[in-house]
Chain A
Amino acid sequence: MMTLRHVLAGSAMLTLTVVSCTLYAQQLPFKIEGQMGKDQQGMLSIRYESMHTLVQDSVKVSNGAFQFSGQLQEPAAASLTFIPENKSVRGQFKEIFLDPATTISMKGDSNLLSTQVKGGPSQTDLDALFVQYKPLQEKGPVLEKQFKEYQEAGDEENMKRVGQELQALRVRRREIQIAFAKSHLNSFVGFSLWARQVDGFIKDPVKLEAEFNTYSPAVRNTPSGKRVAASLAIAGKLLTGIQAPDFTLNDISGKPVTLSSLKGKNVLLWFWSRNFIPFEPFSFAINKISRQCKDDNLVIVSVYCDSDQQRWLTEVEEASFQTPNIINLIHPVRLTAEADTTTVGKAYDLSMGMIPHSFLIGTDGKILVRDVNFLSEPELEIKKIINK
């Protein structure tokens, strides 16, 4: 079975960004100056994210020499891919960390992998992290090769065994990252590793806020740090037992519906759009909850978050969200990397990475469950809670 978690529908969406931060944060130049072996010819490309804008650039490598330049507001992880002119030579991939107002030097006597990287403080931290990765990096490719061989031979028993070893490596890698994040509180690299937990719906805002506050002010005051702080602040206002923030949005007939007008009923408030796959398990769950809870005091408030109203109508039809206990509302704003400034956008942190998410709200308007698990018999969980 496939793994279920929202996946952005296309990397193109990453390029849609919010200008508010770019207006206020200072952009500083960076430069990469590289020299591989003189015999290296080809094309080198770079990818990095600068405040949720994916930047891609490529340059020609002549006699091993190359140069990139750009602007950054804060440190950024970057990946480099070298495609040699000689098609019989395999391409190479290297990860580095950029710092604003810094020149990074990459020098080596053969291909991209031979280069020694000297940059700013973030690159130094990345080097320290890579030292810890080293035992895994040696083991990983060996296991992957073995797995492929067993797969080709149809040897399921060994595939399973090697698969488990590979999984253990991934777990170990994450453990190293977490330990690094905890011990590098003044490092943007450490912070980035930690911040993966707040990239999406924030499960445990109280615990995460305490962890966030252990990072140095310099890290917390970067644009990413400020954004995390804002998301944590919103999540902190959406805890169980707290009154769900009120809003008014239009239904399919164009009639405004106010959340607080539904007091007296339990509400499953679900925010969605079609920017994630697979969508079907979620639409199936909504239909199942709707049918199984038709005699319970429950209404499903399905909030579609996108500006395309026609597409909304088609999606509602295709997903069969047309049973009497489903109220279809539209938040007619195209989601971006950051929450929009509308009442509902600000109150529920409606941004691209946050969708889909849901809240079960009691008859008194207070939150009963944050982020109902739609993938594991949600109808049973909901019935149990609202019929307590």
Chain B
Amino acid sequence: MKKILLTGVVIIALAQILSAQKLYSFLDNGEPVNKYPAVTWLKESGITKFEQDKIYVIELWATWCKPCIKSMPHMSELATKFKGKITFISQGVWESDTAKVRQFITDHAAFFTNSMVAFDGGKDKADFDRNWLKPSGTIGIPRTFLIRNNKIAWITDPFVLTDEHLQMLVEGKLTAETAKAIVQKNKQ
């Protein structure tokens, strides 16, 4: 009996610790964001929070994800075009081999010239998994998050993201609705 009770106490304590660390319950278009989950930054710079007056694009990827790699030239082109206006973050997810990720970045340095690069450390145990991927219902990559004024402006597939979207984001005119309208227009 004592043992069972103890287990219960431990689980409650664990749940409390976990809940204390939880940054976000729900991440969707229009939801507020302030802190960046704990990750390992693989280049000289990184962030711990989103600045109010800054604009961010977070791109989720993994070395095993072929569509992610396919989207990289397009994303790095956008990063170059909006250098100084938008902070690009290439956020590696769902893999635990740091050496492999570092090697990939070395081998494909051109893709990461104008972006910060982060590594989350693996599925389920990573802070980024718990505090970003799960609250945003993310189950597939690549996936891109656009952030302005501490709010998620739009969550998208990187292949439909254009410089028109980013220009509107810079001008503060981008919402999920206006963004989807551009995608629709480009389809025709």
What residues make up the interface of A, taking CB atoms closer than 8 Å to B?
1-2, 4, 278, 280-281, 283-285, 287-288, 291, 310-311, 313-314, 317-318, 320, 322
Contact = CB atoms under 8 A, between A and B. Distances in A.
Interface in B1-59: 7-8, 11-12, 14-15, 18-19, 22, 25-26, 28
A291 B26 contact: yes
Interface of B: 7-8, 11-12, 14-15, 18-19, 22, 25-26, 28, 130, 133-140
Contacts of B18: 314, 317-318
A280 B139 contact: yes
Given A288-B28, A291-B26, A280 B12 contact: no
B67 to A, nearest CB: 10
Contacts of B12: 310, 313
Given A280-B137, A283-B134, A313-B12, 12 more contacts: A1-B140, A280-B139, A281-B137, A281-B139, A285-B137, A287-B25, A291-B28, A310-B8, A313-B11, A313-B15, A314-B14, A320-B135
A320 B138 contact: no
Contact of B140 (A2, A284, A288, A311): A2
A2 B139 contact: yes
Nearest to B157: A1
Chain A at the B interface: SS class:
helix
Nearest to A291: B26
A263 to B, nearest CB: 29
Contacts of A310: 7-8, 11-12
A378 to B, nearest CB: 12
B11 A320 contact: no
Given A287-B25, A287-B26, A288-B26, A1 B139 contact: yes
B59 to A, nearest CB: 17
Which of B11, B22, B139 is packed against the most chain A CB atoms within 10 Å?
Answer: B139
A284 B26 contact: yes
Contacts of A4: 139
Contact of A280 (B22, B25, B28, B134): B134
A317 B11 CA distance: 12
24 contacts: A1-B139, A278-B139, A280-B137, A280-B138, A283-B137, A284-B28, A284-B137, A287-B26, A287-B135, A291-B28, A310-B11, A310-B12, A311-B11, A313-B11, A313-B12, A313-B15, A314-B11, A314-B15, A317-B19, A318-B18, A318-B134, A320-B26, A320-B135, A322-B25
Q: Which 4 A-B pairs have the closest CB atoms?
A: A284-B137, A320-B25, A1-B140, A287-B26
Nearest to A322: B25
